[in-house]
Amino acid sequence: MEKYKKTGLIVLAGVFLLFLLQSSFAESAEQDVPKHFLVPPPPFSPGIFPCSQCHQGMPVNRKPRKLEQMHQDIVLKHMPGGWCFDCHNPDNRDKLRLANGKSVSFEESYNLCGQCHGTILREWKAGLHGKRTGMWNGEKQYRLCVHCHWPHEPRFKPIKPLPPPVRPSDIK
């Protein structure tokens, strides 16, 4: 009797969990429409992708260090105390990896950034942060976060302004 009660409870709990899962799925599906955003190709340096061309079979070195044989230009100035594998997938270098272990492609790097910059990701989806091009009343292309922010040093880089207008006094 006691045993039946227990299994009954477990089944009930299971059903309840399933229900919860389902409704949360429904919710997230509703929030995330469109689920996949049309984006331009990720701005990789020429020739560097796929990463597996070198990393396939290469031992993974998880030790935070200054890289000397390769990627010397990458010095992290972002998320103090962080390291490559907070974002890159050690088991498949052609992918990124979320904190929950889930792999995401470079076309979806915004989901990686959104783990820590949730508000900005929400505004990016709404078209407020970042940039959308295409049709204001139709299909839009989204710039990835990394098109504007180099992930390893994300502060937007200053650029040269185009010339100021001609001063009336300069007109001949």
Binding site for ligand HEC (CB under 6 A): 42-45, 48-49, 51, 53-55, 60-61, 67-71, 74, 76, 78-80, 82-84, 86-88, 93, 96, 106, 109-110, 112-113, 115-117, 120-121, 124, 129-131, 143, 145-149, 151-152, 154-156
Specify the 3-state DSSP secondary structure of 4: helix
**Residues 129-149: b if buried by 16+ CB within 10 A, e if exposed:** ebebeeeeeeeeebbbbbbeb
Query: Which of 62, 101, 136, 155 forms a contact with another protein (CB under 8 A)?
Result: 136
Q: Which two tokens stand for residue 81?
A: 């105390």
Q: Which two tokens stand for residue 6?
A: 């227990």
Contacted by 159, from another protein, ligand HEC, none: CB < 5 to 8 Å by type: another protein
Measured CA to CA, the distance from residue 109 to residue 146 in angstroms comes to 8
Chain residues that interact with another protein, rule: CB under 8 A: 123, 126-138, 143, 148, 156, 158-167, 171
